[in-house]
Amino acid sequence: MSIEKNDTLFLLVKSLSKSEKRQFKLYAGRLGGNSEKNFMALFTILDKIDEFNETLILQKTNIKKQQLSNSKAHLYKQILVSLKLNPSHRNIKMQIREQLDFATILYSKGLHKQSLKILDKAKNTAVLYNENNLAFEIVEFEKIIESQFITRSMNTRASDLIFQSMKLSKRTVILSKLSNLSLQLYSTLLNKGYVKTDKDYDEIKTYFKLNLPDYKIADLGLKEKLFLYKAYLWYSLIIQNFVLSYKHAQKWVDLFYDNPKMKKNNPVFYLKGINYLLESLFLIQHVSKFRSTLFYLEEEINQHNFLMNENTESLAFLYLYSNKINLFFLEGKFNKGIDLIPEVLVEIDSYKNRVDAHHIMVFYYKFASLYFGAEQYENSIFYLEKIIHNKDSKMREDLVCFSRILNLVAHYEAGLDQNLDVLIKSTYKFLIKMDELQMVQQKFITFLRSLGDIYPHELKKAFIQLHKELKVYENHPYEKRAFIYLDLISWLESKIENISVETIIKRKSASKYK
């Protein structure tokens, strides 16, 4: 029997903390007699095994093969019900929905005034926490009750509800349009990446203008502002206007600075906002601001200043360690960065069920870049080949493209040039196939192809010439990103001056935004 590593029930059981497992057993016991039933036997075996194995489950329980699917579905549902009762998972949305459920029960029993009283309190809470969709749903329910029964709760009740409904409806429409625009731009960023031509730029600019709804910033609530800043952030990243990215990422984070209660109710958005602020600062190479923001993020995590659960814990790990490594890049401290790799690998293993393959490959690229900067080229190649030979279709193509080019340079530096021609050809074909071959990449591959014809005493002159050719693209609107993730300029300068890449980048870092 094959092992199903991604079985959804198995992953849910393995995500449970000790206290959640204990609560589930107490909850199941209160149901009466369920401790001996199939779904509890299934829970016990899943809790003990390290990998999902259907054969072992059938051997260790009284569950028949034809019963297994139903037993799994029943157990999955009961675990979710148990988790729903856990105070640590009861956020504002759940509390509001619970009150809405209570009001529905009272309504069905004909207790209309009691139902309206609960709805009014729930509505006020929803408005307070900017849960406009829930507030709109509550108002619509209030309208149903008022229209069907003579409650005489207030003389102006009808006009008040109509006004509230229209106001919430308008905000809901704007929120929907902004969230749609934000999602579409984010999808474009992930699937197509950055603009590469004037045609790409014109297309995304036109799309953004046509789909950005009319608004007055003073009329927007916190949620609408959040999606507005997100939309502008994705747009600015796509067009490679990284200063604009920084400005809107800062506005995103400032929403949480100014409204601390949002940290509790939207911790994922809070963490993502800080991460994109750090990414924007990395892209504009603002070392001092990056360092202080990273310190702030670490303090927020250590002091649990936002809701910590399994989801936010894994995100905190990803964002904290990814940006710690980015700081080593900004400061040129590659050898120091290598010391962090074993710790990151341990953390990756501990979060293996919650971190997707793409993010692991991003870490591998960062490891490879650290080793390359520290002149440990074979270690760099080790991690680059993990990316190149990974068959995960969800992995971003640009990550593979940068990995292949860095792999060429690492092979050259390591003296492993016996297969360099084959690597160059395969890389060239891959870039053309993926439509990722830009001028910087083309000139560099052409240079590598010509290395066999250059005499040793002419190498420095060749490096100077390539440096001159690439330097003009360093601030090019569509080519500059290549130098951020693959700093060929600094590598060439290290060859020309005969000093380490680490020394070159440290020197540059000392003059940036101090």
Contacts by 435-443, CB closer than 8 A, 24 or more apart: 436/397, 436/398, 436/401, 438/196, 438/478, 438/479, 438/482, 439/473, 439/479, 440/470, 440/473, 440/479, 440/482, 440/483, 440/488, 441/401, 441/405, 441/482, 443/469, 443/470
pLDDT at 502 over 80: yes
94 CA to centre of own chain:
24
CB 14, CB 353: distance < 8 Å: yes
User: Residue 214 carries which DSSP code?
Assistant: P
Write out the H or E segment, with its range, that includes residue 284.
none
pTM of the model: 0.79
Give the tens place of pLDDT for each residue, 50-102: 888 888 888 878 888 888 888 888 888 888 888 887 766 667 888 898 899 99
CB 262 within 8 A of CB 273: no
Three-state SS for 371? helix
As a whole number of angstroms, the distance between CA 53 and CA 67 comes to 15
Q: How far is CA 141 from the centre of its chain?
A: 36
Q: Does the pLDDT at position 440 exceed 50?
A: yes
Spatial contact of 281 and 246, defined as CB atoms under 8 Å apart: yes
Distances in Å between the Cα of 331 and the Cα atoms of 285, 290, 334, 508 are 10, 11, 8, 8
Look at residue 443 and tell me whether its pLDDT is greater than 60: yes
Strand, coil or helix: 415: coil
Closest by Cα among 60, 40, 36, 46 to 12: 46
Supply the angle between the helices 459-471 and 439-450 in degrees, to the nearest 10. 170
- 279 vs 65: CA distance, rounded Å: 50
Q: Report pLDDT for 316.
A: 94
C-alpha 60/C-alpha 71 separation (Å) is 14
Location of structure tokens 């090019």: 476
| Structural domain boundaries in the chain | 8-89, 92-153
For the chain, percent of residues with pLDDT exceeding 90: 36
pLDDT at 417 (0 to 100): 75
Nearest alpha-carbon partner for 329 in 485, 219, 140, 217: 485
Q: Where are the alpha helices (DSSP H) in 339-456?
A: 341-350, 357-373, 377-388, 397-413, 420-433, 439-450
Contacts of residue 60, Cβ cutoff 8 Å, sequence gap at least 6: 41, 45
| Per-residue pLDDT reduced to its tens digit, 276-308 | 999 999 999 899 999 999 999 999 999 888 877
pLDDT (tens digit per residue) in 90-116: 678 888 988 999 999 988 888 888 888
Mean of per-residue pLDDT scores for the chain: 86
Q: What pLDDT is attached to residue 62?
A: 80
Write down the pLDDT at residue 512. Answer: 63
Helices 501-509 & 488-497 angle (0-180, nearest 10)? 110
Structure tokens at 513: 């935004």
Q: Which residues in 147-173 are b (16+ Cβ under 10 Å) and which e? A: eeeeeeeeeeeeeebeebbeebeebbe
The pLDDT assigned to 226 comes to: 95
Cβ neighbours of residue 138 closer than 8 Å, sequence gap 6 or more:
96, 100, 119, 122, 123, 126
Place of tokens 């609530």: 221
Best CA proximity match to 211, nearest among 193, 192, 184: 184
Residue 473 and residue 452: Cα distance in Å, rounded? 26
Q: pLDDT tens digits, residue range 405-435? A: 899 889 988 988 777 888 888 888 887 777 6
Distance CA 446, CA 424 (A): 9
Distance from C-alpha of 510 to C-alpha of 514, rounded to nearest angstrom? 7
Stretch 136-144: mean pLDDT: 87
Q: How far is Cα 49 from Cα 61, in angstroms, rounded to an integer?
A: 13
Residue 452 has pLDDT above 60, yes or no: yes
pLDDT per position as a tens digit, 231-288: 999 999 999 999 999 999 999 999 999 988 888 888 999 999 999 999 999 999 899 9
Evaluate if residue 154 carries a pLDDT over 60: no
Query: In residues, how long is the chain?
Result: 514
The Cα 131–Cα 125 span in angstroms is: 8
**Residues 358, 318: Cα–Cα separation, whole Å:** 12
Per-residue confidence (pLDDT) for residue 35, from 0 to 100 = 45
Contact 10, 46 (CB under 8 A): yes
For the CA atoms of the chain, what is the radius of gyration? 28
